[in-house]
Structure 1
């Protein structure tokens, strides 16, 4: 049976997240908050899903560059494996550092730093935009002469390790603090405290930070998140807010070179007023009220089903036809947008439900393309449109309860 073993990363990571949550609860540590946890997992699910379609492309790029432009013919010896791991981490350091020092790269990386929680769910906040950006840095590796097979194995290891540094349960680790990036080092990196800003960029080894002067010890309790908190759990806004801010900043400048300076300028010098302008244009100004158990339960149910669907989809990807893959992917992405919008208590989530149902009906019709299926689908569509307003009112009241405001 041809299955994708990387699908087991989903239940494996969930196990460790659940274990961390259990230990935190038992020890009275408030490391998890509902909205933050859902928002973190939403980002992680999207990355795992889209990686299904892009992982092969990344491998193709490495293999093509190696076959056509390799300067050396490097064989997989123990020494070369060690050198590859060190060089990969060295390139990550500079990608990561530029991700904090150049606006256009920060736009891709900022999603990873938005959470005001710091736990293993924060480690899942990797976007496909970020994956593409760092792949550009790693293209030098096959040109040097490392084959795509070696690169892929090292990148898997390099991708798994930092997940476990996103925790507050583990203290300092003695002599390992001098060599590896530990949870203590990475807590510093995610902190918004002034003395911790732009520190500890390493992914596996802390030696680069010590070598290039960007190391800081954890000396006081970190405060997590952005220096100017995002204040939104919207899936779409979390991904694209800084691109919007950057676009507004660029259009406000006159002259090509001034615009270019904004794109490649420093986030520390970025005009903070752009955030407010972007929010006025694209965010609802309706105040989010305290969540009810009702819609928290609905969001949890969506999350559980999405993770279940994602696992089996990834596991059996080789047996799923492309049209069905696209329909399932659309359903999952709509669910992630839906979950984030529900956390923001938006009423337009109702229309996403129609789109989600439509994507599932597309899967049904693919496997059962009969006149009966078509007639039933058309009948349901007509009924849904005829009773649209009535269904919308009932849906929103059931979802939000007393939070629902008819004119919001």
Structure 2
């Protein structure tokens, strides 16, 4: 039976986020900002919901090769578990490294690096489209003959392990720093400091970075984020912004060769006639500024309330997606993403927000109608009450969007 270990781990993720929040409060350090955290979690929700439609298709490729092209019939024992663990981690290293060195791959992976904080919500900030191509890197394992379910289990372990290293709570870990990927190593990976860029690509182990020359020890303060900040809380824009930049650059190219090179060269590449390579700028405390638009407590409270609704609806869909109709799945995903866009827009006080939010609230009643025959009466009442409250609340704060007060 295919088990979604990531979805089952969601409660643990939020428990650890809560622990980190308490830790930062007790230590009087600011590890979290509401706007950044909701932006990170919005990416995670979107990635999981879009994955509902893609996971079976993507897993099919591995399974097909295993069933029709495998070289060996490999038994399942502890030795094979260890070999496959190393194989998954090795191929993850190369996928991750290529995602930093090929523009078309970076266009997806960049989403994970856009946050200017470093905490457990950043671990959940995932591209909505990266999984569409990451599976290709693992196909050699299917051809060799490693069982698909065993492969899925170890890929899930690799992913879950990496959640735990997205924290500033844990310092260096002595001799373990030479073997496994630690919070210290991964903090370096998320840095926009020139010496830290494109370092420490390992998933569970750090040995691959040490072997292939991409290791960097944490030595100076890490400035988190990317060299050209996203400067937006819009989750949809976050997934398409770099593609937009690549297309604009490609339009400036002379000839088909350079047009194609835009997508396969490393980030920052430009031919000499277009200005030459863009090198990462030096960064220090004076030049590092986090994106943080002014937003009133009332707007933040409303945005947080809507985010909780999106989180609840998204969680329900993840666990019931196989039991509801395709059109209901699509409609629910679309509505949740609209809600996440709205949450980000409140933090930015976007000019188009008033009409957008009004339309979204009206659309929410259409969602209730769509699920009318399958939703229990109690939950119909809860859904209706929540959205009536949202509508009244929005009318009370609508004039604060322009002023931010």
| TM-score, normalised with respect to structure 1 | 0.84
The separation in 2 between residues aligned to 1:334 and 1:363, in whole angstroms, is 15
| 2:295/2:348 contact within 8 Å kept | no
| Alignment correspondent of 1:331 | 335
Change in 2 beyond 3 A, CA 1:222/1:323: same
| Alignment correspondent of 2:25 | 25
Change in 2 beyond 3 A, CA 1:366/1:73: same
| Alignment correspondent of 2:98 | 98
1:364 aligns with 2:369: yes
The separation in 1 between residues aligned to 2:19 and 2:400, in whole angstroms, is 30
Q: Aligned runs of 1:226-241 on 2, under 5 Å?
A: 226-241=226-241
Change in 2 beyond 3 A, CA 1:143/1:395: farther
| 1:4/1:316 contact within 8 Å kept | no
3-state SS, counterpart of residue 267 of structure 1: coil
Residue 211 of structure 1, CA deviation: 0.2
The separation in 1 between residues aligned to 2:196 and 2:3, in whole angstroms, is 44
Residue 39 of structure 1, CA deviation: 0.9
Q: Once the two structures are superposed, what CA deviation does each residue of 1:6-44 show, in whole Å capped at 9, x if it has no partner? A: 543222211111111111111111111122111111101
| Greater relative contact order, per chain length (Cα 8 Å cut-off, separation 6+) | 1
Q: Aligned runs of 1:3-402 on 2, under 5 Å?
A: 7-270=7-270, 290-353=294-357, 354-355=359-360, 357-358=362-363, 360-368=365-373, 394=395, 397-398=398-399, 400=401, 402=403
Q: Once the two structures are superposed, what CA deviation does each residue of 1:361-396 show, in whole Å capped at 9, x if it has no partner? A: 244245359xxxxxxxxxxxxxxxxxxxxx9x9576
| Alignment correspondent of 2:284 | none
The separation in 1 between residues aligned to 2:292 and 2:26, in whole angstroms, is 30
The separation in 2 between residues aligned to 1:107 and 1:337, in whole angstroms, is 20
Q: Once the two structures are superposed, what CA deviation does each residue of 1:283-330 show, in whole Å capped at 9, x if it has no partner? A: xxxx98511001100111011122222222222333323222222111
How many residues get paired?
371
Residue 133 of structure 1, CA deviation: 2.1
| 1:118/1:166 contact within 8 Å kept | yes
3-state SS, counterpart of residue 166 of structure 1: coil
| 1:165/1:186 contact within 8 Å kept | yes
The structure whose residues are more often helix, as a share, is 1
Change in 2 beyond 3 A, CA 1:326/1:274: farther
Residue 184 of structure 1, CA deviation: 0.3
Name structure 2 gaps, 5 residues minimum: 279-290, 375-391
| 1:324/1:363 contact within 8 Å kept | no
| 2:66/2:145 contact within 8 Å kept | yes
The separation in 2 between residues aligned to 1:143 and 1:60, in whole angstroms, is 14
3-state SS, counterpart of residue 120 of structure 2: coil
Change in 2 beyond 3 A, CA 1:364/1:6: farther
| TM-score, normalised with respect to structure 2 | 0.85
